[in-house]
Amino acid sequence: MADWDYDQYRQIIQKYAGNAVTWTAAANLDSFTVIRHDVESSMEAALQIAIIDQAIGVPSSFFFQVTSGLYNLASSPNQQVLEKILDTGRDVGVHVCATEYPTDSDLTPEQFYLNEIGRQKSLFMEIVGLTPKIFNVHRPSPVFLNLGLGTADGMLNSYGPSFFDYTDVFPSRKIRYLADSRHRWDYGNPLAFSAVGKTQLLLHGEEWTHYGEGRAETLDRILREKSGEAITEILAERTVER
C-alpha cells in the first residue's frame, strides 16, 4: 500500500464505515462520520471514488460546482459521468463558489452569501434535475464561517454547527474535520484517529489514484487531463456544410 493510492483510501473509509451516516441523520447523533467529496476538477476521479464507496457500503456525498472554470457540469460527457455517480446511490450537493464578502457592499454578509447560495442552487437544479439537500462553500472565508449558518435556502450547510465547529483554535476537538486538501493532511491523518466521536471527512477524488502520487504528479495529471479534454473538444468541431 502506498500513500495516496486507492488501497489507502479504502483503509480510511473502512475504518470509519461503522460510524458513517447521512448528513440528515448525523444532525441528531452524538457520534457520527459524514463523508464528503468536493469535485474540484475531475468528474472521472469522482466516479472512481463513488464506485469504491458503493462497494464498501458507506453513505457519502459529492458536491459539484456549477460555476467552475475547470469543468462544465452541464456538458454531455460530464452529464454521463454524473449519471453513473448517481447510479451508485450517492447523495449530491452544491459546492458553492463565493467570492470574498465586499466590505463596501450594501448587503449584510448573510444576505450576500444567501443570495449567491440561492443563485447557484437554482443553476444546480437546472443542470442536475434534482433538488439538493446540502451544500458547502468552496474555500470558505472567515466571514462566511462566522455566520454559523445551519441551513440556507432549504439546504443543510456542511460547515454548519452540527457538522463543523469553527473556533479561534482550529480545528475544533468537538467535531473533527479531516481533509486531504492540497494533497496534505493539515488537520491530521484519519488513520491516526479513533472513529468514535463526531468527524467530517473531506476527501477529494483528484488526490487519489491506483498507484499513489506526490503533489507535483497530481497537479501534472490534472493539467494533462484538462488539456486532453480541451483538445478533444477542439478536434470535434465541425464547420457548417453548405
Q: What is the pLDDT of residues 147-192, one digit of tens each?
A: 999 999 999 999 999 999 887 555 557 899 999 999 999 999 999 9
With 80 as the cut, is the pLDDT of residue 239 above it? no
Domain 6-215 matching CATH 3.30.1340: the answer reads no
Give residue 15's pLDDT.
Answer: 98
With 60 as the cut, is the pLDDT of residue 74 above it? yes
Distance CA 105, CA 226 (A): 35
Percentage above 70 pLDDT, the chain: 92
Q: Each residue of 125-140: pLDDT tens digit?
A: 999 999 999 999 999 9
pLDDT tier at 219, thresholds 50, 70, 90: confident
pLDDT tier at 10, thresholds 50, 70, 90: very high
Distance CA 195, CA 183 (A): 22
Rounded to 5°, angle at Cα 180 from 58 and 223: 110
Give residue 169's pLDDT.
Answer: 55
Q: What is the mean pLDDT of the chain?
A: 92
Q: Decide the pairing of beta strands 32-39 and 155-157.
A: unpaired
Q: Are 176 and 200 in contact (CB under 8 A)?
A: yes
Instruction: List the domain boundaries for the chain.
Output: 6-215
Give residue 214's pLDDT.
Answer: 86
pLDDT tier at 242, thresholds 50, 70, 90: low
Cis omega before residue 190 (within 30°)? no
Give residue 2's pLDDT.
Answer: 80
pTM of the model as a whole: 0.92
Give residue 220's pLDDT.
Answer: 85
